[in-house]
């Protein structure tokens, strides 16, 4: 008999059994927690797609002068879209994740192109004719 952290005076077989039971319980809790975290991540991914969709549609509708939304209705639309797309992402995981990846990638590409083009136009506005020829080459 020897002292262990599981019990003061346990037999070696009992101590091993207790360690196995504790390990098994912690493994099950870890598995449940990881599945829950995965579902939360998928919900948040869908919510991001919903928010991006509403932002794009709102800007399009305002440019076309179709509708002008007030601040209170915009907040309600954002919450409904985020929740709706989040719940939809839980049911349609693969297509939503693909759509979010494509949307984020195209947005980052366009934002980078806009930054690069803006810097090039800024250089041109401060440059003479020889600088333009260097940029074209």
Per-residue pLDDT, 34: 93
Per-residue pLDDT, 1: 46
Per-residue pLDDT, 132: 55
pLDDT along the chain (137 residues), means of 10: 53 76 92 92 91 83 75 82 91 88 85 74 59 57
**Per the structure block, which two tokens stand in for 25?**
């319980």
Compute the distance between CA of residue 137 and CA of residue 132 in angstroms, rounded to an integer. Answer: 9
pTM above 0.75, yes or no: no
Per-residue pLDDT, 60: 81
Compute the distance between CA of residue 137 and CA of residue 23 in angstroms, rounded to an integer. Answer: 66
Per-residue pLDDT, 124: 57
Residue 136: alpha-carbon gap to chain centroid: 38
Per-residue pLDDT, 106: 86
Per-residue pLDDT, 51: 87
Cα dihedral 96, 67, 109, 112 in deg (nearest 10): -140
Per-residue pLDDT, 87: 92
Cα dihedral 42, 45, 49, 55 in deg (nearest 10): 140
Per-residue pLDDT, 77: 86
Compute the distance between CA of residue 62 and CA of residue 77 in angstroms, rounded to an integer. Answer: 15
Compute the distance between CA of residue 128 and CA of residue 87 in angstroms, rounded to an integer. Answer: 56
């Amino acid at each position: 008999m020897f002292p262990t952290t599981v019990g003061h005076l346990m037999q070696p077989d009992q101590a091993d059994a207790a360690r196995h039971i504790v390990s098994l319980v912690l493994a099950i809790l870890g598995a449940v927690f990881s599945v829950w975290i995965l579902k939360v991540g998928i919900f948040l991914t869908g919510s991001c797609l919903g928010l991006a969709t509403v932002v794009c549609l709102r800007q399009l509708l305002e440019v076309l002068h179709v509708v002008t939304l007030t601040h209170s209705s915009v907040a309600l639309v954002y919450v409904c879209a985020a929740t709706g797309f989040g719940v939809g992402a839980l049911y349609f995981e693969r297509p939503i994740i693909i759509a979010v990846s494509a949307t984020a990638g195209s947005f980052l590409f366009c934002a980078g192109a806009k930054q690069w083009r803006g810097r090039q136009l800024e250089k041109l506005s401060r440059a003479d004719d020889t600088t333009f020829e260097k940029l074209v080459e």
